[in-house]
Chain A
Amino acid sequence: MGGSVKQYWLLLTALIACNPLHAERLDDSLSTQQQFDVDLVWKEQHGTENLDTRELNALIARARRVEIRLNTAPYIGQRGRIFITLPLNIRGTADSSALRMSWTTNGRFSNGSLTAGNRVKLFEGEITERVMTDVFDITFEIDARQVYNNLRFEPVYDIELY
């Protein structure tokens, strides 16, 4: 039984580690569109004469007018920081760090960029709305040498209260 308890504790610790207690995941299922299909194409279509290797291999995809709606109802009246995270492992690529996501918004959240496995702050301040909404224009860029298939991933949003 001792071994069994130890196994449970290890599993519990692993689960907690993957979702730190001080950050709570926000539900974005209220967003009007749940799936976006965009095409990855060469960033530099013409004038390839003087491109370096990085530029030569750059693929780009753009997702326009992506409305993200985060359920912040449980945090009304509290102060928090909202983050966006790209998962570390992204299906379709051998090296997720080759993927960069950058975006501009209408101003409710911050503009920014990040690479897979990292997170960036979108908002800091008092939560005053039950649903926080903004429209993102997103650009994805990745090295073609790391693209083995179509890519599929879900950015994750979480909140830290302070």
Chain B
Amino acid sequence: MPGHTLPTVLKSLLLVCALWCAMADAVVFNLNNRATPRINIRVGAAGSNITEVAFTVPAGQIGDNNPITAAGRVRIQVLIRASAANPLTGFLTVDSLSNPLENTDPGSTSSIPFSEISWTARDGDIPSGAFQDEIDQDIVSFQSSQRYRDFHTFSYANTLEIESGTYEGHVIYTWAVP
């Protein structure tokens, strides 16, 4: 190959290969991320009805420190999803202060703080705990994208000497992204 050094030949080969690799325009796909972040919560039965948990304390056992466990489990489920482009953290809180357990007898002013009630988680994904008579009690937080479902069994500590009767109140769970 007179007149050509080896590097010159290789350079030519490189040029050909580079042109070959960078061949004509190609059809391009742009996938635009339109995954709107979402959160969802369900406590108890599906739908808008409020799920009830009932404790029955026999008259002779009021305040004897023997806990009473409610029948049945309450399903608690939270979902948070977002793409990695906009990761989110969701916080599950509960308000057990605003609506305490009050004696439904019109003439009664007795009440029971929700801190008398605790729960045990079946799986632990949404962990066991006890109400703390707070408006904004932290339960758990999760990062996107996940869905956690657990089942809680509630228990009444039965430590208070209280007026007999029926007591009703409610707690409110909130699942939010700050």
Residue of A at shortest CB range from B42?
A: A49
Asked if B27 and A15 sit within 8 Å, CB to CB, the answer is no
Does A113 lie at the interface of the complex (its beta carbon under 8 Å from any beta carbon of B)? no
Given contacts A8-B7, A41-B34, contact A152 B14 (CB under 8 A): no
Asked if A5 and B7 sit within 8 Å, CB to CB, the answer is yes
Asked if B14 and A12 sit within 8 Å, CB to CB, the answer is yes
Chain B residues with Cβ below 8 Å from A49 are 42, 46, 77
The A23-75 residues at the B interface (CB cut-off 8 A) are: 25, 27-29, 31, 33-42, 48-49, 51, 53, 56-57, 59, 61, 63, 66, 68
C-alpha gap A56/B79 in the complex (Å) = 9
- Please encode chain B, from 92 to 122, with 1 for each CB lying within 8 Å of some chain A CB and 0 for all others: 0000000000000000000000000000000
Which of A5, A57, A154 is close to B145, meaning CB atoms less than 8 Å apart? Answer: A57
Given contacts A8-B7, A56-B147, A146-B84, contact A37 B35 (CB under 8 A): no
- Please encode chain B, from 53 to 92, with 1 for each CB lying within 8 Å of some chain A CB and 0 for all others: 0000000000000000000000001010111110000000
Chain B residues with Cβ below 8 Å from A138 are 29
Given contacts A48-B40, A144-B35, contact A151 B30 (CB under 8 A): yes
Residue of B at shortest CB range from A101?
A: B29
Given contacts A41-B35, A150-B33, contact A19 B21 (CB under 8 A): yes
Q: How large is the interface on A (under 10, 10 to 19, 20 to 34, 35 or more residues)?
A: 35 or more
Does A94 lie at the interface of the complex (its beta carbon under 8 Å from any beta carbon of B)? yes
Given contacts A27-B24, A155-B26, contact A53 B146 (CB under 8 A): yes
Chain B residues with Cβ below 8 Å from A149 are 33, 85
Question: Using a Cβ–Cβ cut-off of 8 Å, how many residues does chain B contribute to the interface with A?
Answer: 38
**Separation in Å of the A135 CB from the closest CB of chain B?**
13
Which of B10, B25, B31 is close to A12, meaning CB atoms less than 8 Å apart? Answer: B10
Given contacts A25-B20, A146-B84, contact A5 B25 (CB under 8 A): no
Does B48 lie at the interface of the complex (its beta carbon under 8 Å from any beta carbon of A)? no
The A81-112 residues at the B interface (CB cut-off 8 A) are: 92, 94
C-alpha gap A31/B26 in the complex (Å) = 9
Residue of B at shortest CB range from A95?
A: B84
C-alpha gap A145/B46 in the complex (Å) = 28
C-alpha gap A153/B21 in the complex (Å) = 16
Does B32 lie at the interface of the complex (its beta carbon under 8 Å from any beta carbon of A)? yes
Chain B residues with Cβ below 8 Å from A29 are 24-26
C-alpha gap A16/B23 in the complex (Å) = 14
The B109-160 residues at the A interface (CB cut-off 8 A) are: 145-147
Does B50 lie at the interface of the complex (its beta carbon under 8 Å from any beta carbon of A)? no
Residue of A at shortest CB range from B82?
A: A144
Chain B residues with Cβ below 8 Å from A34 are 25-28
Does A161 lie at the interface of the complex (its beta carbon under 8 Å from any beta carbon of B)? no
Does B18 lie at the interface of the complex (its beta carbon under 8 Å from any beta carbon of A)? yes
Does B13 lie at the interface of the complex (its beta carbon under 8 Å from any beta carbon of A)? yes
Q: Using CB atoms and an 8 Å cutoff, list the residues of chain B in contact with chain A.
A: 6-7, 10-11, 13-14, 17-18, 20-21, 23-36, 38, 40, 42, 46, 77, 79, 81-85, 145-147
Top 8 closest A-B pairs, CB basis?
Answer: A8-B10, A151-B31, A15-B17, A154-B26, A144-B83, A29-B24, A39-B34, A147-B83
